[in-house]
C-alpha cells in the first residue's frame, strides 16, 4: 500500500528581502523543503488506518543548518502523524544553511507537513 509522498510546505519566512542574490532565500527555502520531503515517512499504521492531516512543526536551526529544537505547533489530530512531523527535521539534519539574507541565529521556521493518501484531497 504505497501512498504518494505528501508535500512539505513552509510558511513564508518573515524578514526576507525581495532582492535576488546568489543565495536567494526562496531558492534556499525550496532546498530546505526538498530536504525535508526526502526524509519524510508516512507511518504505515497511519496509512492502514486512513489517517490524514497537516501537523505544523516549529524548529530552530543554527547558521550551519543543524537542528537545535523542534516542537509541535499545531496537531493533525493523529498522534502518529504528529510524531512523524516532529521527528522529521532532526532526521533530515543537517539542513541547507540559511543564506545571509535570512536573519537570526538561530533561525526559527514553522512548517506544515502534509499527509494525504489521495493527492486530490489537497
Structural domains for the chain: 25-121 (3.30.1150.10)
Query: Which residue matches cell numbers 527535521?
Result: 89
SS3 content of the chain, % helix, strand, coil (to 5): 30, 20, 50
Query: Which residues, given as ranges, of the chain have pLDDT below 50?
Result: 1-22
The answer for residues whose C-beta is within 8 angstroms of residue 93's C-beta and 6 or more apart is 65, 66, 67
| Res 17: pLDDT | 35
Task: Lay out the sheet containing 56-61: strands in order across.
Answer: 67-74, 56-61, 107-112
| Res 98: pLDDT | 94
Residues facing residue 56 across a β-bridge? 74, 112
| Res 118: pLDDT | 83
| Res 7: pLDDT | 45
| Res 26: pLDDT | 77
Distances (CA, A) of 87 to 5, 9, 18: 17, 16, 31
Amino acid at each position: 500500500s504505497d501512498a504518494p509522498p505528501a508535500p512539505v510546505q513552509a510558511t513564508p519566512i518573515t524578514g526576507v528581502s525581495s532582492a535576488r542574490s546568489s543565495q536567494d532565500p526562496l531558492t534556499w527555502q525550496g532546498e530546505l523543503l526538498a530536504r525535508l520531503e526526502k526524509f519524510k515517512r508516512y507511518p504505515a499504521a497511519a496509512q492502514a488506518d486512513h489517517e490524514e492531516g497537516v501537523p505544523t512543526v516549529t524548529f530552530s536551526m543554527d547558521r550551519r543548518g543543524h537542528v537545535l529544537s523542534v516542537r509541535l505547533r499545531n496537531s493533525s489530530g493523529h498522534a502518529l502523524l504528529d510524531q512523524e512531523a516532529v521527528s522529521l527535521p532532526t532526521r533530515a539534519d543537517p539542513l541547507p544553511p540559511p543564506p545571509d539574507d535570512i536573519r537570526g541565529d538561530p533561525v526559527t521556521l514553522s512548517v506544515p507537513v502534509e499527509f494525504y493518501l489521495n493527492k486530490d484531497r489537497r
